[in-house]
Structure 1
Amino acid sequence: MKKKILAILMVLTLVLATFVGCGNSAKEEDNKDSKDATYKVAYIARAQSDSFAAWLANEMKAAAAEYPDMKLDIFDGQADDEKENAAIENAIANGYDAIIVQPNNGEAQRPYVEQIVDAGIIAITTNARIDGIEGASSVDANPYTQAEVNAKAAIDQVPQNGRVVVLKGPSGNFHADERLKAWKEVFFAARPDVKIVGEDFANWNKDEAMSLMEDWVTSQGKIDAIISMNDNMAAGALEVIKDNSAYANTLSYGVDGTPEACLLIEQGKMTSTCLQSAIDLAKLNMESVHKLLTGEETQINTDIDAPLITKDNASEYVKIYKDRGLITE
């Protein structure tokens, strides 16, 4: 397992090679390869430290290669609102034809995406969308549905009078808020017997989730289920209890369908997740931005599907990741 997870992390960190600093120009060799491209597109990624964000950035690069008339440059927001906002301003100043923003905190990025629109540049927000920006498009997944499919399954899986912990994404983040809302309305409303013994923000971060879980294990003892707003945090919590037999039956739920989560589910260490396919999301982003750039569409707001991944079908997704080199033996 350790070798497989290490392989996943090694592949994902290769994305670093495609990133440039927020204030730097794109790499010279990339410009040379794409000197005949008609359109320049900037993708402002949320953070390299988030495994899903890293995966999505990698898939964006791959999807963009299918459009010879587009040149994609990727910038890392480093999970820092100021750095991400500076990257957006730099992209505007550098004359990009389109800018795709993966917000770190939607409301913090809102005025900067509005600047993109005001500058007459095509704007797309993705993973998560920022609603209500006139003139901007969005390519996303439905975060309520992503949590809902897990929450419905959990109704019959979590034991009576279960004790659960809740790992939340960043406050104000559209995906984090909507996923938590779904868990409250679908699961907790149906299971008033369940007690939340720990709930806190881990901000999509594995290390933060591990720290919280260590505290909860010490202070709360029995934990029947880990309810996480993404796979990265769920995996962090599971890392804390993996060698503790007292938690052998602890359930765990996430969202994203990352390679790591699919391996954990296949091995019976995690209960379920909902696929937020970075592959599909990247393809849809590139298709959408191309349609906007060429005038085929003037505004697009669209979502990818949200299938549930369980022990019954996890091997199908593991195979997909192996085929793409995201999991190696």
Structure 2
Amino acid sequence: MKKRLISVLSMSLAITFLAACGAGTPKTSDSTASGGSSSKGYKVAYIARAQSDSFAAWLANAVKDEAKKYPDIKLDVFDGQANDDTENSMIENAITNKYDLVIVQPNNGEAQRPYVEKVVKAGIHAITTNARISGIEGASSVDANPYEQAGVNARAAIEQIPQNAKVVVLDGPSGNFHADERRKSWQKEFFEKRPDVKIVGEQIANWNKDEAMKYMEDWIQSNDKIDAVISMNDNMAAGAIEVVKDNPKFKNMLAYGVDGTAEALLLIQEGKMTSTCMQSAYDLATKLLESGNKLLTGGEKQIDTDIGNPLVNKDNVQQYIDILKKSGAIK
């Protein structure tokens, strides 16, 4: 397991991000240029939410790889460090540096909204992704359906979580479209149908594994039993699982997440995690570069599209592990 987790971490570290904040011109953390001079091609800025987020790192890597298929695109990748001010500054710098396309993975959609609006007003193409910021005229989006991402787990959990269970809930950042919609889905698809289930702990862990671990440490001190961890992403679920991995009292604890990260797939294979929803970074990256190319070349003016939401559990996890092995994400 340790070797496999090392390969997950190495995937996250594969991108050398920029740690920029405040005003000023950012230096690019990484760039991909295939053929042709930058003066004849298109400059694309990809602003990631946070290097510390395993899914955000996976997606940034996938975008880098996909960009290599487009000879006219020069891609620069930046790290928003899970900080609204940092990310907003990077968006402004992308405008100043006259990028042709700015792709934003928001930390907090409403905080980034006015800055993405500035991109559009500057005559620059904009795409928001994971999660989309809806309602910006002239801005495109590539995303998934977060309600269904949680819903596929919640509907399965109705039969899996025992009667009168005690559960804990790990939420993403308040105001984030994916965080809010996934929590809403769990409420409607599970909690309203299973009033016997008691939530004994719920906290916002901001997609972060370390934060989730701290909350889980508190919860196991105050509860002699936790039947399930309901998490809005895999990273937080993995943190909760890490805390109780050697505690026999929690050996039958169920755990649910979203993203389909390499770590989550391996935990499902080992029987430590119940299920996740695959949010394929490869599919998102494919659609991001496809859409970006159409916008840049004048094929489309605005594009809004989603990827699918397959449930991953012990019955089908191997096929997804095989996909990540082919890509090198799992060794």
State whether TM-score is above 0.5.
yes
Offset from partner CA, 1:5-60 (integer Å, 9 cap, x none): 112101221112xx334342336985797624521111111000000000000000
CA distance in 2, matches of 1:148, 1:57: 26
Match 1:128 to one of 131, 135, 149:
131
Partner Cα separation in structure 2 for residue 30 and residue 111 of structure 1: 28
Q: Structure 2 vs 1, CA of residues 317 and 20 (structure 1 numbering), >3 Å: closer, same or farther?
A: same
SS in 2 for 1:20: coil
Q: Secondary structure at the match of 2:99?
A: coil
Distance 1:30 1:318 in 2: 27
1:91-106 equivalences in 2 (<5 Å):
91-106=94-109
Equivalent positions of 1:1-329 (< 5 A) are 1-16=1-16, 19-22=17-20, 23-26=25-28, 35-36=37-38, 37-328=40-331
How many Å separate the matches in 2 of 1:230 and 1:198? 17
Shift of 1:327: 1.1
- AA aligned to 2:8 is I
- 1:29/1:226 CA distance change after superposition, 3 Å: closer
Q: Cα–Cα, structure 1 residues 223 and 92, in superposed 2: closer, same or farther, change >3 Å?
A: same
Show structure 1 runs of 5+ residues with no match.
none
CA contact (8 A) 2:209 2:236 kept: yes
TM-score by length of 2: 0.96
- Distance of 2:127 and 2:11 partners within structure 1: 27
| Higher fraction of helix | 1
The amino acid of 1:100's aligned partner reads I
- Report % sequence identity: 65
Amino acid at match of 1:297: E
Equivalent pairs counted in the alignment come to 326
Shift of 1:117: 0.5
Q: Is the CA contact 2:229–2:237 (under 8 Å) kept in the aligned structure 1?
A: yes
Residues 282-324 of structure 1: CA deviation (Å, up to 9, x unaligned) = 1100000100111111110110001000000111111111111
TM-score w.r.t. the length of structure 1 is: 0.96
CA separation in 2, counterparts of 1:248 and 1:89? 49
Q: Measure, in 2, the Cα distance between the counterparts of 1:31 and 1:323.
A: 24
Measure, in 2, the Cα distance between the counterparts of 1:29 and 1:178.
33
CA distance in 2, matches of 1:86, 1:40: 18
The CA RMSD measured in Å over matched residues stands at 1.4
